[in-house]
Each structure stands twice: as structure tokens, then as C-alpha cells.
Structure 1
């Protein structure tokens, strides 16, 4: 059947339910969010004369939950206005309304009896043929359908969203023996394309895939640290970004998630896995039991493995728990010789061999933990999944690992990893040795066509990972020889079908001279032999902006000729992209700041990941956008004048967006701020962005793309608008809302956006505005307070308001 999801019912409005509802609202789906009606009145309700059957009382729980979600930071909504798609109600009055829903998701408390009781009521109203799923992290899915009809069981499945649903990409799909295959196929596709998830098909085993392996990895770390006598700080130093895990590493992450959650999952696994060879790993160590008894559960109780206290002079300081004495002491900075040797190794995959070769305690830790992890995941096939890539997908998307266990093992070398496990007394599954004996030396490989393949244990052959045909993975294309040109900061890669891609690989993808050279080369090559260009990358962020260190160095040395040339080259590169003979499509994701934003402002079209945080943030370092950003926002504002809104209001809005360094909290919000415009696209699944951008470039080319002509008729308002801005900014200074230096920067920005000191509204060219922009940027580089702001960002990462 042709199934569409127009309306979803979410049953249960707690932290998880309200945020699942918010994410469906993000993608444009109507949501019915229901919860129980209260059994007692609050004193405030009694004082108002309300009764238990009053609508305000009956919907109090669900409305309070939704309000809390809307106010949460980070927000579960792309835009605050998206909450209008969510209608609230209660189980007593509104359960009947699920008859109009295409998908009903149960997200109530983790108790089988309560879930089964609710499903009994749901079946009275649910429309036959509609999907019904349970969001659970541990209860066996097949037990929930006992006593339900054949149609219910056929359309029932487990859907395990990870919290927070907007930001964590994993969605595990867990069918029962009765689930119709078409339902499973639909959910796998819908999760990927519409919800933006890495959808992983899991078996109905305890904790499914991600929590089974992820919690084992955490519990194994706890055992190893006790064996080696390590501290909380030492373990967090070793289990963070250096191995591609979150900066919060093991213990800080546990504090944020809540130790009760970790203990509940570990206890459940210890009880429900009688035949797991590593079952003992899930037994809680004594210090964790004691922490549970003391209610030291992490951030929710104010202390866990870490605690924030007031130190001398009222200054906050972080204390760490001594697991031997269970006393808190000031957190210590940690150094390991092994880690020092990896500082120069930027590529994550290249670090692992160095880490396990360490001669210090860090090396011992890595050898033991990797050995345990490799053995464990090898033995989970076919128990929790039939395909090894699903374990890697689940750990990357659910736990935020940059590389999954089998990818890590590959980076170390399968034979080396096997020897490591054996040396630590771990038993690796026989299929690994059989794979090596057959001459297959890795779990993954990339075909000549740039398609990633995995070793399939059942057929003993390599197969393409299902779904990868929908993605363009630059690493795979690079491995298959598709790089056309490269330098130290950028690569030009052939995406096929006549489209090139410019990828950055500088630190934080900062836009320096080498990246600018790459952009210009990409345009040149595309104009000569191709039909379109995409600018995108697979890094965590698109670009953090221009190379601020270089700006600071030239400014400090007062080398204004070099600075002028650098800014001019950046502007010219943006204009070269904008006025090329081939379509240029930007593919931003993550941080897209300063110069990264300016680059996308000059593309013919932008295909942005939903999680794109776009903004012109130069004000924070005492500058104005100098790579065409001030010009482009002025031009875009002028284009809106014909739409009838008061012109000064439009100009003021654009001015304030730059002057307050606003950054969109999603790609959808970037439309509101003017960074994206009609015709640009938003893609929910960031893995699909480059593929979709390629498709957009092809479409523009096939529609007969014609090179645009530079604008010479941009309306600017001169002194009339300039006076308005200067008066407003002066009032903010008098009110002490901004500093003298803020006033100076704001006046320079106003001068650019008003077209300078013109006596009347005038039409000017893009180059005229670019010259004003460059002049203002240069003059600000000569200001001591600007240099102080830049230095603060470069040295502390924090903005300075001086």
C-alpha cells in the first residue's frame, strides 16, 4: 500500500514523548500529544474553583510537559512556531482521536503492564492498517502484543528513539515475528528520509544494539580503570576526542545522562543475559552502588562523578570523585606520554595504532578496552544483528562515536586487533579468523565506484551497505581515486554526472588562502570540463569562518597591504563563484559561520542540513563581514523593497541580524534571518546533503543555467537611513547596552548598508558596496579593542566585550 504520514499520535508527554512530538512537528507533521488526566487538584486550581473534569485540569500534565519542552535549551524545535502543529489532550477524552492518525507511538513509563493496558484501550480506537509502535529501551517488544488482534500485531513494531530525538540520529527499528515486512521497510525508509535518522534494524534482544554494546563499553571501562588504579579525570582524558568520542567522554556524559539510567540498563542486562560471555561486566562496581544509594546521580542531583562547588572568592570550580574514598577533590589536569605522541596526528583512524603501542598506563588502558570491545562485538553477531555495519551505525548515531567498533578495529588492523584480544585473554568469534584465513583482511572496503562494502558473515563475501546509494560519501570517493585536484586546505572531487565538489580540510574548515585557491580551482575546472559545482564536506561542521589567526597576525604587524589583498581575494573569490558560467550549490551543515556563511550567500542555491547553524558573527571579534556578507545582506534587502514592506524596517532587520551576530538555531530559522532564501532547500538527514546538492546542481544545469550579471542597481538610502541607525545606536550606548567600540563597529556597518554619506536614495553597484565593506574591515583591524577581541577568541574561545 502507498502509506503517507500526515498525522501522528504520541501517547505519553514526558521528556521523551514531548520531544518526539516536537521532532515530528519540525518536519511538518500534525501531532496529537496525549497523557493521563490528573487524579487530584492543585491548590492553585482549587482556588480558581476548577474541578477535575475542567479541561485546564485534565490537560495540565500534557500542557506542562509541552511547555517545558518548548522552553528547553537546546530547543527540540527547529522554530518555536512549529509547536502550533502539536495539539494536546488526555487519555480519557481524546484517545478516540487517534482514529484520525496514521501512526500511533506509545512513550509511557517503562512498565510492561502499563503499556499492555494502554494498548488494549488503543485497539478500541485505532484505525486498522495504521502503524502502532512502542518507544522502549529495554522491554521485549514481542511481549507487548499479547492479546492483541492480528491487524494490531501485523502493524506493531518497536521504535527506539535516542534522547534528545532532534539531535541524536539513531532510530532502532525492532520488529516482532508478527510484524509485516512492508511496515518494517516503511519505517526504515521514513526514519532515514523524513526524520533524518540513521535507522538501524535490530533484533528483539535485551537493550537492542546501541545500548547493549555502548553500555558494555562503559561498564568494561569501569572494570579496567579499577584494575589499573585510574582516576575519573584520567579515564575521561583517554575516552574523549582522542578516540573520536564526545568531549564529555565517559564520566561527564554519564553525569549528563544520569547515573540511574546507566545503572538501570546495566542491571537489566545483568539479569536478562544469562548466556552472555561478558555478563560479569554488567555487574555494578561497589562505588557505583554506593553512588546510587547516596543519590549522587549526576547533573539531575547536583553531583555524580563530578560536582561544581564555589571556591575561593565565590569562583566556581569542578571537583572530581575519588572512587576509592568516595570523596570529592579538585579536578586534576592529566597528561599521558602516549597522548602527546598523537597530537600531530589529525586523522582519527591513524591514531589507534599509536595508542595501543603506548608504554605507559594509557597504552595498557587502550589495549585492555579495545580487546574487550572487539571480542564483545564479534560475539554479538548473529545474536543482536546479522550484519556488522549495523553495530557501527548504531554506536555512531546513538553514542556519538566518530568510528564504530568494527571501523576502529579495521583502522588498527583486523589481525592486530585479534592478537590484542588474545593477549588479554578474550575470545573472539570464530568467523573473524575464518574471514582472515580466506584472505579477507578488513571488515570494510570501498569499491572502484566509491561504494562502501561490508563483510557479510553469512555469504562470506563483501556486499554494499544498503541505502548508501542515497548518500555521497567524500571519503569513499577519495579512496576510489576521484580527487581531481588538491592542496593543503581543499580538494576538488569528481562526484560523477558532470558535477565537481570542493571540500575543505583545514582546521575547523577555516577559510584561508589555500581554501580560496581550492574554490577558484573548482570553478575553473567545472567551467572547463563539467556542468556544475557543489561546495560541501563530511566534517562535523561546514566552516567556522575565515582564518582569524592570519587576520590577527597581519593586523598586529600593521601589514595593511597584505590584509587588503587578503580581503580583496576573498571578495573576488565569492564574486567569481556567484558570477560563474556554471551553477554553484552550497551544502552547509553544523557551524556555518562568518566566511562560511558568506560563501553560501554567494551560491546560486543552498541545500542545507536541518542542523545548520548559520550566521555572520564578525561583530563578536570587533569586525564587520568583509567577504561580501555586508554587501549581500544589503542587496538581498533591496530586492525585498518591491514586496511592499517599509524599506527602513527591512534594512533595520538586516542590520540588527549582523550587529547582534545572530546565528540560526536551525536551517529553517536561517530563512527568517535572511541567510537562506526562497528556492533554497533543507534536508533533514545530514548524510543526504551532498547527494541532494549534487542533484540540485544537475537540475540547474539541465534547466539551462545562464550566468547572471553583476548588479549595478542596488537601492541604498544614504543619509536618511544613516541618521536613523546612528541615532538608534547612540541611544543604545547612552543606555549602556553597548560599549564605545560596539558603537564604532555598528556605525561602520550602517555606513556600508546605507551606501555611505549620500544625500538621497541612490542605486549603486555590488563593487561599490564591496569597496565600502573592505575599507571598514581594514580600519577596524587597526583598532586596539578589535585586536583584544580577536586575541580573546583565539586564546580562550570566548568573546570579549570591551
Structure 2
């Protein structure tokens, strides 16, 4: 059988979901044909232009409008705006024959079986035999959709359920039809993981599949608990958000974003189509939900839901909350629980659960009630929705942004303790759990030899979770491969002569312990290994330098210590660049300030596609002081070309820093000259990132890595550039675009990036620029307004404009 490749896909249906799927395929370099129906009538604009229903611009209006709306939406569905060129639009009458040339047809039309069947009937007339064809449905049984189609169609047909928005949510459920070939499922499973960057889960053809069945149960459970326990929506959101490893939007804010009508549609579908579900009554809508539906309080799309954004008497934005007793909006109330206070010092979310379920207050009661119900429910869904428990956990983590799935949470509490809690709340686990415990198994998961094992119910033993061989999972290997550890980092041996330096500080901020750890990792790698990766699997790579430490030194006016600390950071990034072994950085998520400066100095970067990289120091009243300002001057110099307007190149790099630009994806970081095309690479699946970074380090070592010579050839433009920058900042301050203090910071940066007030363009060394940068940084920390900005960021978590 020839190898199947996906070069071109057709997406049928251009609504929010269809356009989002089209954009994500464009993100990974696939050509996309996006088709939708022809409008039945002209709109006012078309009538004014005297167009007819036969004009191409009219016939493609629905698809073009939908795609443009998607591209402009936030968060952006594309990694880079240029990737939109990979999408061609058309309509289902004029362009349907073009599906004969694609490798995969994805149907994303309205959730009605009769319409889907009609679309498939039309597609089959033009589809080339052997072409993949899938339906993105969240509720209609797959077995009904392909009825009446040919054997070839049915063998290559299944459900592929993306979660919205497709770029950001990682869950990709694959649902086989009655005749789907096993090799088609295998292909989609590996393609989803490797190319689309997804967590792929093969699900059974049951209502709402895995993710929505458990996710909607969990939300409905909270809807009922909020009334039974007399809690406010703020209290439930406080209890069901980051404290238990769930998104900041928690429960009610998430429903507002998704849309209450969407949730109600899925809940009604489960209630109607799962008559044997032991908790079917839970899917009945509470009265307050019915009232909200009647009032069209559907969330963000209608301007109000559980929360409502409004303006107060002073014209400031205010968020009001819905009182579920009176169904009137009121000022938000702060939620506070003694049990949550006990978890504040516990950084590892899994370690909080035993504390949370033992709480003597309403928080403890809420956690016991909701978790006991969840545990009982998931045990009864095996084998109905999945034969393996790890698929349920994977679906909840990838589809709903939970840090831990239900069985992982249960393990954190303790299997026996979880059973006792369930019984106390009036629930019984499924019989397989009692059998598992009776046979001496007291956990759902174990870690052995760097791999995760799960309890397999039919075989009554722990089996290895499949698909791990392509990944390096630091949590699994850390204990056995640690070669150095301090309070800020762990250095692990990844095998094959490559070390990894993993940040373990709060929010992966960079302080003295992390810098010492990086230097130690370089020492170890230079002595006994062949290469070094700097990567971690936290929520973000690094939020930057420890500004609390900088603030304390500046307030105490300990300028010698501060100078030494900044020089230590500079020396560390320079060691990364000039060590005798290859250094590879693996940024993901927020990679800000100092995290960006480290990235700029590695030999190579293997960035996750979802990397938000930038030098943001202006927000706290300083310039980049860990080599970032120097590096932007150096990169500007390297971009100068013969007969080029060099000032324009330098200005672009200056504005990247002065405007604190942050890329919204790794691909945008190329535009900012933070990543280098042909040198630095992007991976879509973060689970593969460390394994790829290790392979890059190994390849560099095998190709005979030699450290680069120190740079003494950085061209700086001196007074010529300085004059231009000063005129620019003067006019911006005069026009009130920037404050007086913004101007002061910008002028300091200008001085560094121009190389000082040299009388003519000159070649200088990196060290010359580092000294200028450090001097400018230190002088700014002596400014009262910089201290105010630092303090505001520490206390409020957002920049101050003063």
C-alpha cells in the first residue's frame, strides 16, 4: 500500500468551526479548498452595485465573509496572516468538482443528519476513490451519516471531532463508522498527533463522544451544586479555576465564552439519547438556565450571560455578576475560602487535592460533592464511551484545558480515600474499581522506566500508555536521570550525550538560582556530554527575570549587587552562545523578557508554534539588560545590506524593543528577528518539542560542532542614529503618545542600540554593547517612576503607565 500524504484538504462549510479548521490546516502548510453554499438572495450592498445572483462575488459571498471574519477574530486562528494565502474559497455548486484533487474532505456543515447525508451524496459524485472523508460532528451518530454510500466511501469515512478554536484546543476525537478500515484510524491517529499537534483519542460512536460527555456532565453537576449549596457564581468560579488546574475562565466565564446555547444543545442531546445513563436527570436544565435561554442571555455573543460588562457612572468598565436567586445583575463579590488559603503555598496542583477535599468549610464540601460525582460517573462510562481510562483523562486535558483528568485527580487523593469519599456522598464506583482494589492495585497509573502505565480493566494489570516513544516526559524521567538540582533548576540526562536544563522556579522566572543552574548545566555538558537543551514542560517557558529581586535591590540602593546580578545574567547568555557544546533552546507559551534573552543567545531554537516571545522590559520601566538590547543592535547590524538604508533596519529592531512587541506565535517571531529562518525551527505538537530539541543538539554535535568566534564586528551608527531616535521620541512625547518617563527609557535604549554618541559608524564588540546596556539598565533602576512600575507589576500583575 502506498504511503498516504496530505497535501490538500477540502473543508465543506465555512462557519466558525469550518473556517477555524481551514485556518489550522493552513497553519501546518496544507493547501485548503473551503466551500460553502450559494446565497439565495442579494444583500443591500450587492443590490446597490446592481449585482446578480450569477456574479461570482455574490456566489462566494458567504464563504468569503465567513473566512474573513474568522481571520480577523481574536484569538487569531492563524499562526501568521500570510498563511491565509494557502486557503482558496469557492461554493458547492461551481467548485464541488475540485474535491477530486484533494487528499481529505472534511464536512463541517450544520448539525442536521438529513443535510449531512445530502452533502455526502453530492460529494461522492466527485470524490476520488481512496480519499479520506470525515465529518466534524459533536453529536450525530457516525453510523447514520454514511448510510447508502459506496463501500469505498464507508471504508474511508469516520468522524473527526475538532474542538473550538481548532488552533488552540488540542483534543482531536476520531470516531470510527461501522465499516471504517483500521488503517484509516491508524493514519488519522498519527497524523493528528504529529502534524496537527493534537492529542488524538479514538472514541466510540456514543452521544457527545468522550470530551463533551464528561465535560458537560461536570458543568451540569456544578450548575446543580451552585443552587443546592447556596453558592454564588464567583464562588464556583473561584473553586473550579486555576486552584484545581483548570482555566482562569473556570466554569461560568467559560460558558459565557462558548455560548450557553451551545452547552444546552449538547446537554439536551445527551439527555435525549442516553436513556440508560444513571445520571440522566442531571442533564435536565435547572430553572435559571431556562430563564437565561428565554431572555437570550447566552454569554459574550449576546453581551450578557452569567457575567455582564457595563460602564459605571465614571465611565469605567465594570463586570457585573448574575445573582442566581433573583436573576438580576449585581456588583461582583469577592470569593474567599479558608481551605483555598491552605493551598496557596502548594505549587504542584496535584498536591492540592488531598487538602481541598479535607476542607471543613464550603470549599471542602463543594470539592467532595463534585469530585465524588465525577469519579462515580467516569467509572460507569467504561466501557460505554471508552475501553481505556487514560483516554478519558486525555480528552478532558486536551479538550477542556484541565491540568489533570478525573482518574489522575483520584490518584492524587488516593484510590481508597476516593472510594470512601464517594460512598459518603451517596455514590458507588463501578464494579471494576472494587475488583481492581481487591486484586491489590491501588492506583490507576504508575510510572516505570520513564513511561506511564495505566490500569487495563479486561487484562486486570498495568499496561504502557501507547504513543509515548516519540515524547520525552520530564515528570516521568526526572527522578532517574537527575544529574544536578538546586532550588531553581533540575538538570536531566536525556540520553545519547545530551543534557536538559529544566526551570522549576515559580512561573519559571529567572533569578540567581536559575542562572547558577544554567551555568552548572553548561559546565557538566562541556565536561562529560555533547550538547545541552534548555527546556521545560511548565505552563510557560519563562515569564522573565525575577523582578521582585531587582525591585528590592533598587529600593535598598544596592547598586553594586544589582550591577553584579545584571552582569551575571549577561555573562550567562554569552556562555550559552560561546560554550564548546551546542546549546538548543525549547521555548513555548510565554517566553518574555529574560526568557526571550536566553532564547536569542542559543545556537539553535526549537520553538513550539504556540510561543509568545518578546522583550517586554519597557513595561516595568527598564530596557532589556540581559543581552537583549545588545542582541537587537547586533541583529540589526547583521541585516544591513549593501546600499541599504541602514537606519530603517535599526529603527525596526529598536521599535521591537521600545513597543515591547510580543509574537502571537513562533512564526511571528521570525518577523521580529527573534527567530532565524533556516536555523530555528517550529514544532506544532509541544509533546514532541523536547525530543526534537534533543535530536537537533545531537545532530549538531555529530556534524562536528565548534564554538563560534566572539563578535567584534557589530556595526553601530552612532550620532547619525541617535539624532533620528531623539527627534522621534521628542515628537511622540510632545504629541502625548508617550509619557515623559517612556521617552527617558526610549532614549536610553536608543543610546545603547546606536552604540553611544560615536561621531561615525563604527565596528564594536558585543562586550562594548553589553557594558552600555548594563549602565543604562542600572541608571533606570534609580528612577522613582521605574520603581513605581516595578512595584505595580509585582502587586497587580500588569504594567503601569506613568
Q: Quote the residue 2:645 is aligned against.
A: 646
Distance in 2, matches of 1:384 and 1:648, equals 62
Aligned to 1:135: 136
Match of 2:371 in 1: 370
Which residue of 1 is the match for residue 206 of structure 2? 205
SS of corresponding position for 1:292: helix
Cα offsets for 1:681-735 (capped at 9, x unmatched):
1000111111111111111111111122211111111112222222222222233
Write the distance in 2 (CA, Å) between the matches of 1:330 and 1:742: 35
Residue 310 to residue 719, structure 1, CA distance change in 2 (3 Å): closer
Distance 1:217 1:714 in 2: 58
Match of 1:562 in 2: 561
Query: Which structure 1 residue ranges, 5 or more long, are not aligned?
Result: none
SS across alignment from 1:199: strand
Match of 1:191 in 2: 192
How do 1:596-611 and structure 2 match up within 5 A?
A: 596-611=595-610
Cα deviation for residue 521 of structure 1 reads 0.8
* 3-state DSSP of counterpart to 2:84: helix
Q: Which residue of 2 aligns with 1:350?
A: 351
Deviations 1:522-541 (A, max 9, x none): 11111111111110111010
Q: Summarize deviations over 1:577-607 as a string: whole Å, max 9, x none.
A: 1111111100000000000000011101000
Match of 1:314, SS?
A: coil
Structure 1's 153 and 645: CA in aligned 2 closer, same or farther, altered over 3 A? farther
Q: Secondary structure at the match of 1:494?
A: strand
Is 1:69 equivalent to 2:45 in the alignment?
no
Q: Which moved more, 1:321-330 or 1:141-150?
A: 321-330
Partner of 1:229: 230
* Partner Cα distance (2:419, 2:261) in 1: 34
How many correspondences in the alignment? 800
Q: Which residue of 1 aligns with 2:336?
A: 335
**For 1:162-207, what per-residue CA distance to the aligned partner results, in whole angstroms no more than 9, with x for missing partners?**
0000011111011112111111111111111111111111011000
Residue 699 (1) aligns with residue 699 (2): yes
What residue is the counterpart of 2:240 in the other structure? 239
Matched residue, 1:466 = 466
Alignment deviations for residues 741-780 of structure 1 (CA, whole Å, 9 cap, x no partner)? 2222112111111111111211111111100110010011
Q: 1:240 deviation in Å?
A: 0.7
Deviation at 1:142, TM superposition (A): 1.0
- Partner deviation per Cα, 1:124-154 (whole Å, 9 max, x = no partner): 1111111001001000011100110111101
Cα distance in 1 between the residues matched to 2:303 and 2:735? 38
SS in 1 for 2:172: strand
Q: By how many angstroms is 1:650 displaced?
A: 1.4
What is the rounded CA distance, in whole Å, between the counterparts of 1:643 and 1:9 in structure 2?
45
Gaps of 5+ in 2: none
Structure-2 separation of matches of 1:258 and 1:129: 38
- Which residue of structure 2 lines up, in the alignment, with residue 758 of structure 1? 758
Q: Displacement of 1:645 after TM fit?
A: 4.0
SS in 2 for 1:157: strand
1:449-492 deviation per Cα after TM superposition (whole angstroms, max 9, x unaligned): 2111111112112122111111111111124x222111111111
Displacement of 1:325:
2.1
Distance across 2 between alignment mates of 1:457 and 1:530: 43
Correspondences of 1:447-486 after superposition (within 5 Å): 447=448, 449-479=449-479, 481-486=480-485
1:282-681 mapped onto 2 (5 Å cutoff)? 282-447=283-448, 449-479=449-479, 481-642=480-641, 645-678=644-677, 679-681=679-681
Do residues 16 (structure 1) and 17 (structure 2) align?
yes
Residue 571 of structure 1, CA deviation: 0.4
- State the distance in 1 between where 2:565 and 2:157 align: 60
Provide the C-alpha distance between the structure 1 equivalents of 2:619 and 2:345, rounded to a whole number of angstroms: 30
1:769 aligns with 2:791: no
| CA–CA distance in structure 2, aligned partners of residues 31 and 495 of structure 1 | 38
Q: In structure 1, how many angstroms separate the alpha carbons of the residues matched to 2:524 and 2:434?
A: 47
Q: Give 1:210 deviation, angstroms.
A: 0.4
Comparing 679-688 with 754-763, greater Cα deviation is found at 754-763
Please identify, of 316-325 and 714-723, the stretch whose mean Cα deviation from structure 2 is larger. Answer: 316-325
What is the CA–CA distance in structure 2 between the aligned matches of 1:536 and 1:526, rounded to whole Å? 15
Aligned-partner SS, 2:763: strand
1:268 is aligned to 269
Shift of 1:644: 6.3
Task: State the superposition RMSD in angstroms.
Answer: 1.2
> Is 382-391 or 742-751 further displaced after alignment?
742-751
Task: Please report how far the alpha carbon of residue 314 of structure 1 lies from its aligned counterpart in structure 2 after TM superposition.
Answer: 2.8
Task: State the distance in 2 between where 1:487 and 1:243 align.
Answer: 27
CA distance in structure 2 between the aligned counterparts of 1:301 and 1:755, rounded to whole angstroms: 54
TM-score, length-normalised on structure 1? 0.98
| d(CA) in 2 for partners of 1:47, 1:291 | 39
Alpha-carbon distance in 2 for matches of 1:226, 1:731: 58
Shift of 1:43: 1.9
Which residue in 2 is equivalent to 1:50?
Answer: 51
How far the C-alpha of 1:647 sits from its partner, in A, is 2.0
- The 10-residue stretch of structure 1 (606-615 or 741-750) with the greater mean CA deviation from structure 2: 741-750
2:26 and 2:488 mapped to 1: Cα distance?
Answer: 39
* Shift in Å, 1:313: 2.2
Distance 1:671 1:44 in 2: 39
The corresponding residue for 1:738 is 738
Question: What SS class does the counterpart of residue 237 from structure 1 fall into?
Answer: helix
- Per the TM alignment, residue 224 of structure 1 is displaced from its structure 2 partner at its CA by 2.3
Q: Distance in 1 between matches of 2:566 and 2:202?
A: 50
Deviation at 1:227, TM superposition (A): 2.2
Offset of residue 642 of structure 1: 4.4
> Within 1, Cα distance between the matches of 2:728 and 2:445?
61
Separation in 2, partners of 1:324, 1:724: 62
Structure 1 counterpart of 2:720: 720
Q: Deviations for 1:564-585, whole angstroms, at most 9, x for unmatched residues?
A: 0110000011111111111110
Q: CA deviation at 1:311?
A: 2.6
Q: Distance between the aligned counterparts of 2:789 and 2:360, measured in 1?
A: 42
Which digits, 9 at most, give the CA deviation of each residue in 1:254-274, with x for residues without a partner?
111111111111111001111
Structure 2 distance, partners of 1:109, 1:651, is 51
In structure 2, C-alpha distance between the alignment counterparts of 1:701 and 1:755, rounded to whole Å: 35
Q: Secondary structure at the match of 1:800?
A: coil
CA distance in 2, matches of 1:217, 1:667: 34
Cα distance in 2 for residues equivalent to 1:656 and 1:312: 38
CA distance in 2 between counterparts of 1:638 and 1:316 reads 45
Aligned to 2:688: 688
1:643 Cα deviation from its structure 2 partner: 6.9
1:189 aligned counterpart, secondary structure: helix
